[in-house]
Amino acid sequence: MALGFLAYTGPRAEVVDFAYPASIGYAFIIAGRGRPEVDPWSFLLPFAPLVWLGVMAALVGVLGVTLLTSCFNYRTQSRTSKSLTNKLNSLRVLLQQDISTGADWLWWERVVLGVWMLTTVVLTRGYSGILISLLAVRHIPMPIQSLQDIMDNPVILIVQKGTNMVREFKEAEGGILRELGNLENVGRFRRVPGEDIMAAFNTLVRRGDHVYIFSDILIRMMALDFSNTGRCDFYLAREVFLSTMISMVGPKDSPLVPSLSHRILLATEAGLYDFWSKTYTPNMTSCLRPQTKVAIKSALGITNIWGMLVVVAGGAVTSLLVFCLELLFPPPSPAGVMKTHAGIPAD
């Protein structure tokens, strides 16, 4: 007999009898957690993408309303090119640049600009406050969250040799399981004997370039590591797969199997199996959902702000290109524009 729990499979059921299932087992992916890293693009995180889109839409709306209403006002039609500068003041306010008012301002332009100023004050104050907090945060990368992530990242898959997990990957007719099984042809699928699993777990998986797939015994291994080190150096991927019933087995037609089934049923219905599992393994849930962000106290360096510098450099390069275009294609002089509006051909 096998007193240890085995997964229920078709080939096994042909040669042995399974007792009443004690639990439902799942396959898990375990990987090593990365070290805290700086996100150079954290200055974009204070607002969600939908908020950034809303701000841009509001800015375009304010500019559009200002220009549209100016087209129907006879007073604005006779003003000089300074009128365009006044209409772009909403963009200057959003960028926290200075503006100046003059006698040619209309009352509705002052109202629209005042409401826009109030809106941008709320946005910029909220943005700056959140950004200060984000600059003190380090992100812990955990890229492997599904089977597809194993395919997309340069990691090596470890599976215990001789287990049902190997058969699932190698005998799958198609899909992601078959693709993972084919990784053995390129050296990214390793079968490790059972006696070497702990060594592979503590070295290969811990350093981050290997991932391990097995049943819920992984959680016990993570809990044992946390008890020894006090750290969560591993994490479980969000995706679970290959759910199977697990139970004890006995010889075919053995009268002991029904007797075992009756007692397993009583133990599971009373909740004893789950209680024993949690009691047997301390810190069972300590690393199931490890934190992905940590706050630190350190001076800001170039690694924190190089994303901002890229944006500044991009703006400077764009401005230089526009300046060169203005030199190559200079705009008409103000005197020529005035003569053209008066019906006199420009020189």
- Find the angle CA(171)-CA(177)-CA(183) to the nearest 5 degrees: 90
Domain range annotation of the chain:
2-37+140-295, 303-347
Q: What is the pLDDT of residue 83?
A: 53
**Tokens describing residue 17:** 């009898």
- 60 with 116: CB under 8 angstroms? no
pLDDT of 335: 55
DSSP letters spanning 192-258: E-GGGHHHHIIIIIHHTSEEEEESTHHHHHHHHHHHHHSS--EEE-S--EEEEEEEEEEETT-THHH
What is the pTM (predicted TM-score) of this model?
0.61
According to CATH, the topology of domain 2-37+140-295 is D-Maltodextrin-Binding Protein; domain 2 (3.40.190)
pLDDT, one tens digit for every residue, the chain (347 residues)? 877 788 888 888 899 999 999 888 888 898 988 777 777 777 787 888 888 888 888 888 888 877 776 666 545 444 444 455 566 778 888 887 777 665 566 777 778 788 888 888 888 888 888 887 777 777 788 888 899 999 998 899 998 888 888 888 888 888 888 898 888 888 899 998 888 888 888 888 888 889 998 877 677 888 888 888 888 888 888 888 888 888 899 999 999 999 999 999 999 999 888 888 778 778 877 887 777 776 666 666 777 778 888 888 998 999 899 889 888 887 766 555 555 555 555 55
